[in-house]
Chain A
Amino acid sequence: DAMVIQNPRYQVTQFGKPVTLSCSQTLNHNVMYWYQQKSSQAPKLLFHYYDKDFNNEADTPDNFQSRRPNTSFCFLDIRSPGLGDAAMYLCATSRDRVEGGGNFYNEQFFGPGTRLTVL
């Protein structure tokens, strides 16, 4: 089945130690997103790639970076994790704009997430 895969599902890192989270997709979607979700909160968009074009949200800290080496893979790098970065990180993909009833909309497909713990 076509899907969005995130590895690892659980990641433990030390304060200040760089960590990389991975997302891959078999949907061949051209847009990939990274969200941060803290406990009991809504997902918050960090950035997204439209093909190779990187789009950073204005309030995303510089500590967070991303790479997309090809259509299938996207990585989230946290250069110096702090305790406040402990969260669930969700990857999502979408197939650009999908036509429905004469309108175009964006439907996102989510991976299972990576739970990051910072010690």
Chain B
Amino acid sequence: AQSVTQPDIHITVSEGASLELRCNYSYGATPYLFWYVQSPGQGLQLLLKYFSGDTLVQGIKGFEAEFKRSQSSFNLRKPSVHWSDAAEYFCAVEGFQKLVFGTGTRLLVSP
């Protein structure tokens, strides 16, 4: 069965600094991978997705993610974090028409 691991529960980044959120997945076939963001009290918003092709995918709000099959990873990056990026970030893998989510990483942005 597919699974997702997000090893960092919390991350604090200074505003303007770069960000990388880690995601490792387990899936037997070609994975379909997603990153979602959730602001407090809100639903999930899709940041980006990977299903094939170029391993570096661009998303909304200046985010990008790189798929590395050899490492079973799909890490999310942003070169310069803004205070509005403070939120919960979920990595997910799709299998059999279902999304399996990681436990999330809460991003805190310090001034």
A positions within 8 Å CB-CB of B: 4, 6, 31, 40-43, 45, 48, 50, 90, 92, 94, 97, 100-103, 105-113, 115
Inter-chain contact A107/B46, CB cutoff 8 Å: yes
B28 within 8 A of A: no
Q: How large is the interface on B (under 10, 10 to 19, 20 to 34, 35 or more residues)?
A: 20 to 34
Min distance, Cβ A60 to any Cβ of chain B, angstroms: 13
A-B contact count (CB 8 A): 61
Inter-chain contact A100/B101, CB cutoff 8 Å: no
**Within the complex, which residue of B36, B45, B49, B103 is in contact with A41, where a contact is CB–CB below 8 Å?**
B103
**Within the complex, which residue of B46, B51, B53 is in contact with A109, where a contact is CB–CB below 8 Å?**
B46
What residues of chain A lie closer than 8 Å to B52, measured between beta carbons? 100-103
**Within the complex, which residue of B41, B99, B102 is in contact with A108, where a contact is CB–CB below 8 Å?**
B99
